[in-house]
Structure 1
Amino acid sequence: MVFYRSITPIKNVVTQLPTLKIEKSTANEKSKTIAVDLPLIYQPPLESIVSRALLLFYPNDQQSAFLPEFRWFYRSWIEMMKNESTLWRTDIIVYANEYTSVFKQLGCVYERIRLDRKENAQCRVFPYIRIKDRSSKHKMSSQYQIIDQQRSQRMYQYLRGYGYIDSINTVFEFNSTFLMYDHVLRTDMDCFLTENFARYIPYNNSVLVGHGGYSTEFNSNRLKRIARDMDWKYADKNGLGSTWYGSPSIIYHMSDYTIQAMLHLVRNEFTTPEREHKLGVMLWPEWHFGVLLLYGGHLAINHIIANENLRILLASKLLDQGVTSKDQTDIKKNLRLHLHCWHGDDPFSKFHFKAGRYKAIDPSKLISDTSASGYAMRMALESNAMTLDELRQNLLSIKK
Structure 2
Amino acid sequence: MRRITLRLILSAIGICICCILLVFIVSNFSNNIYEIESKSAKCNCPPTKNSFPQIIPSESSITRIETILKPCEEIQKSSPVQRAILIYYPHHQSEYFFPEVRWLYRSWVEMLLDQPPTWRTDFVIFTYNFSTEFRKLGCVNRIRQDKEEPSICRLFLYVPIQFRTKNITDNSFQHAFDDAKRVMASYKDMNGSFISVPLVNDKETFDGKRSESLYENLRSYGYIDSINTIYEGYWTFKMYDFVLRTDIGKFTIFD
TM-score by length of structure 2 reads 0.58
Q: Structure 1 72/161 Cα, relative in aligned 2: closer, same or farther at 3 Å?
A: same
> Residue in 1 aligned with 2:198?
145
| Counterpart pick for 2:145 among 115, 119, 139 | 115
Structure 1 letter corresponding to 2:165:
S
Q: Is the 8 A contact 2:158 2:197 kept in 1?
A: no
Q: Structure 1 166/10 Cα, relative in aligned 2: closer, same or farther at 3 Å?
A: closer
Q: Which has the larger radius of gyration?
A: 2
Q: Structure 1 129/10 Cα, relative in aligned 2: closer, same or farther at 3 Å?
A: closer
Alignment deviations for residues 193-226 of structure 1 (CA, whole Å, 9 cap, x no partner): 13xx22xxxxxxxxxxxxxxxxxxxxxxxxxxxx
Q: Structure 1 9/48 Cα, relative in aligned 2: closer, same or farther at 3 Å?
A: farther
> Residue in 1 aligned with 2:78?
47
What does 1:62-101 correspond to in 2, within 5 Å? 62-101=93-132
Q: Distance in 1 between matches of 2:222 and 2:197?
A: 23
Q: Is the 8 A contact 1:59 1:66 kept in 2?
A: yes
Q: Structure 1 98/144 Cα, relative in aligned 2: closer, same or farther at 3 Å?
A: closer
Q: Distance in 1 between matches of 2:77 and 2:70?
A: 12
Compute the RMSD of aligned alpha carbons: 1.9
What does 1:237-276 correspond to in 2, within 5 Å? none
> Residue in 2 aligned with 1:261?
none
| Superposed displacement of residue 10, structure 1 | 3.6
| Superposed displacement of residue 174, structure 1 | 0.8
Q: Is the 8 A contact 1:145 1:176 kept in 2?
A: no
Q: Is the 8 A contact 2:156 2:196 kept in 1?
A: no
> Residue in 2 aligned with 1:154?
213
Alignment deviations for residues 98-146 of structure 1 (CA, whole Å, 9 cap, x no partner): 0000111111001x00012111111111111111111247134545533
Q: Distance in 1 between matches of 2:148 and 2:235?
A: 19
Q: Is the 8 A contact 1:73 1:189 kept in 2?
A: yes
- Are 2:189 and 1:130 aligned? no
Q: Structure 1 10/163 Cα, relative in aligned 2: closer, same or farther at 3 Å?
A: closer
Higher relative contact order (CA closer than 8 Å, sequence separation 6+): 2
SS at structure 2 position matched to 1:48:
coil
Q: Is the 8 A contact 2:82 2:121 kept in 1?
A: yes
Q: Distance in 1 between matches of 2:231 and 2:250?
A: 22
What does 1:350-365 correspond to in 2, within 5 Å? none
| Superposed displacement of residue 46, structure 1 | 2.8
| Superposed displacement of residue 148, structure 1 | 1.2
Q: Structure 1 134/77 Cα, relative in aligned 2: closer, same or farther at 3 Å?
A: same
Q: Distance in 2 between matches of 1:47 and 1:8?
A: 20
Q: Is the 8 A contact 1:131 1:160 kept in 2?
A: yes
| Counterpart pick for 2:238 among 154, 176, 179 | 179
Structure 2 letter corresponding to 1:175:
Y
| Superposed displacement of residue 9, structure 1 | 5.7
SS at structure 2 position matched to 1:193:
coil
Q: Structure 1 180/144 Cα, relative in aligned 2: closer, same or farther at 3 Å?
A: farther
Question: Which has a greater percent of helix?
Answer: 2
Alignment deviations for residues 241-267 of structure 1 (CA, whole Å, 9 cap, x no partner): xxxxxxxxxxxxxxxxxxxxxxxxxxx
Q: Is the 8 A contact 1:89 1:120 kept in 2?
A: yes
| Counterpart pick for 1:168 among 214, 227, 234 | 227
Q: Is the 8 A contact 1:76 1:193 kept in 2?
A: yes
Q: Is the 8 A contact 2:122 2:154 kept in 1?
A: yes
Count of equivalent residues: 158
Stretches (4+) displaced over 6 A: none
SS at structure 1 position matched to 2:231:
helix
- Give % identity: 43
Q: Structure 1 81/167 Cα, relative in aligned 2: closer, same or farther at 3 Å?
A: same
Structure 2 alignment gaps of length 5 or more: 1-68, 177-194, 200-205
What does 1:186-335 correspond to in 2, within 5 Å? 186-194=245-253, 197-198=254-255
Structure 1 alignment gaps of length 5 or more: 1-6, 14-43, 199-400
Q: Distance in 1 between matches of 2:156 and 2:126?
A: 5
SS at structure 2 position matched to 1:192:
coil
| Counterpart pick for 1:106 among 126, 132, 137 | 137
| Superposed displacement of residue 154, structure 1 | 0.6
